[in-house]
Structure formats: C-alpha cells, structure tokens
Amino acid sequence: MFPGANADRGNADYAVVGAPLDRSASFRPGARFGPERMRQFARGFEDYDHHTDAHFSALGVHDAGDVRAWDDADAYLSFLTGELRDAAADAVPLLLGGEHTVSVAGVRATDPNIFVCCDAHLDLRESYDDNPLSHATVTHHALDTAERAIMLGARAGCEAEWERAANADVTVVPPADVPDWSPDFEGEAYLSVDVDALDPAHAPGTGTPEPFGLAPRTLQRVVRDLAPRCVGFDVVEVTDRDDGQAATLGAKLLREFVFAHADG
C-alpha cells in the first residue's frame, strides 16, 4: 500500500492504481517495478505537509493495488481504462506506471480537454519498431481524446515528431523555459509525469534517460500549479536501475499533486 493511502474505497477522493506494464521498452526495461518501488520509497516521508497544513493520510487516498499486466497491450489498456473509469466516477485516479503507454488508459478514462505531459521525449510517433502502442506513441494517442497537448521539458524526438509538434494542437516548452511557464489554458487537464523529464543526474532510474532536463524543484512547482485543474495524474517510467532516486521523486510528486489538488 502507498503510505498514507488508507481510505476505504467507498469514501475515497483519490485512488492509487498501479499499472506495471513493461512491454515496449526500447532501451532499458524495468518499469514493471515502478509502482512497488514508489510505494517502497514513500515510506520515509512525513505525513504532514506544511505548505497546505494537511496530513496525507487525512485526504481520502485509497490504494487499489496493481492491475496485473499481460503481453497484449491493446487488451490491457482497454481493461485498465475500465478500471480507471470506475475510479474516476467518484475519485481522482492516480496512476503509477509502468511504461508510459499506460497513460493512454488514464487519458481515455478521464476525457480531459488538455493533456499536459512532463517528458524528455515528444512521443508523437504513430508507431515505433512497428508497434503502434509503444511508449514512444503516447502523445499521439492522447490527442485522439484531448484537444491539445502541452509538452513540458521535451528535448528529444525524430524529425517527423518535431514537424508534428509544430501544429497548433501541440505546445512544446523546452527545459530552459519550464521554470517560467504558467498554465494558459481553459478546461480540465490530465497531467502525466514521465520521470525522464528530469535530468538523469536526479532520476537515473528510468528507461530512456536524456541529459539536460528539468530540476526536481521545477517539476514540483509544475505539479503543484496544475493539480487543482486536473482530473487525473500519473507518474511513469520509474525503473529499478538506481538506488531509489527516481522512485523517491515519483512518489513525492504524487503526494505533491494530492496536497495541492485537495487544497485547491
């Protein structure tokens, strides 16, 4: 159980759901361990948040456990969408990945106007390695549901992705500009945090690390600023390839989201 997520499901305002899908890793696998590692490394956190004068354990968070993954990603995402849609009926879903592909289910389940993604990569490919449900296709699929995608910290993509990103429905905010960025949209958002948005010096335990990324404090501000406007949230691409740095940051960002969302 995620520490402090002790609310009964029927009384919960937030529902943690683990999605340990680890099928399409193109560099380093290990995202299947992300949900449990984030739970593990959250154990040392204080329950109290002085910014909001609130206790995490009092905010109605329920941990629904993991939705076991299997090889058929299409079928898994459909099933996961149903689980998250059930959660979203009366609670805000908090998805712990797993590879970034699981965010497609989060977006489908919550039907936001805006997909906001903190990520090193554009993920605008229609397929990767002949796989249309690769972790490199997430933003492409999110735009089937959301009207607009905002990519915070993106710094890598193929030529075709950068051409696609020039369209009016995509906004790319490079890492150097994220500290000064503020939301300029109307409507509800879904916030996805791929930990590779962070510089690998801070979060080396991820599948496709990319240098020159965001600092943790910048990502903390983004999550806190956006949380009150969000209908769903996820942290993805945490692996077991470090000493817990990525998992600790991922778990802390989930808590930051809950504190700010509840306070907003």
Of the CATH numbers 3.60.90.10, 3.40.800.10, 3.90.1150.10, 1.10.4080.10, which one belongs to the domain with range 9-263? 3.40.800.10
Residue 26 has pLDDT above 90, yes or no: no
Tens digit of pLDDT for each residue in 190-240?
999 999 999 999 999 999 999 999 999 999 999 999 999 999 999 999 999
Which residue type does 147 have?
E
pLDDT at 104: 98
Tokens linked to 118 = 């903190």
Each residue's pLDDT tens digit, 85-106 = 999 999 999 999 999 999 999 9
Domain ranges of the chain: 9-263
pLDDT at 24: 87
pLDDT tens for 148-192 read 999 999 999 999 999 999 999 999 999 999 999 999 899 999 999
Q: What is the pTM of this model?
A: 0.97
| pLDDT tens per residue, range 31-52 | 999 999 999 999 999 999 999 9
Render the chain in DSSP notation, one character per residue. Answer: --TT-B--GGG-SEEEEEE---S--SS---GGGHHHHHHHHTTTS-SEETTTTEEGGGS-EEEEEE----S-HHHHHHHHHHHHHHHHTTSEEEEEESSGGGHHHHHHHH--SEEEEE-SB----S-BTTBTTSGGGHHHHHTTTSSEEEEES--B--HHHHHHHTSTTEEEE-GGGGGG------S-EEEEEEGGGB-TTT---BSS--SS-B-HHHHHHHHHHHGGGEEEEEEE-B-SSSSSHHHHHHHHHHHHHHHHHHH-
* Backbone CA torsion sign across 204, 227, 263, 98: negative
- Token digits for 29? 């696998």
Which single residue is written with the structure tokens 């592909």? 101
pLDDT of res. 57 = 98
pLDDT, tens digit (0-9, with 9 covering 90-100), for 125-142 = 999 988 999 999 999 999
Output DSSP code: residue 133: T
Distance from C-alpha of 98 to C-alpha of 23, rounded to nearest angstrom: 9
Cβ–Cβ < 8 Å for 216, 249: yes
* In the predicted structure, residue 8 carries a pLDDT above the cut 90: yes
Q: Do 253 and 221 meet the contact criterion of CB atoms below 8 Å apart?
A: no
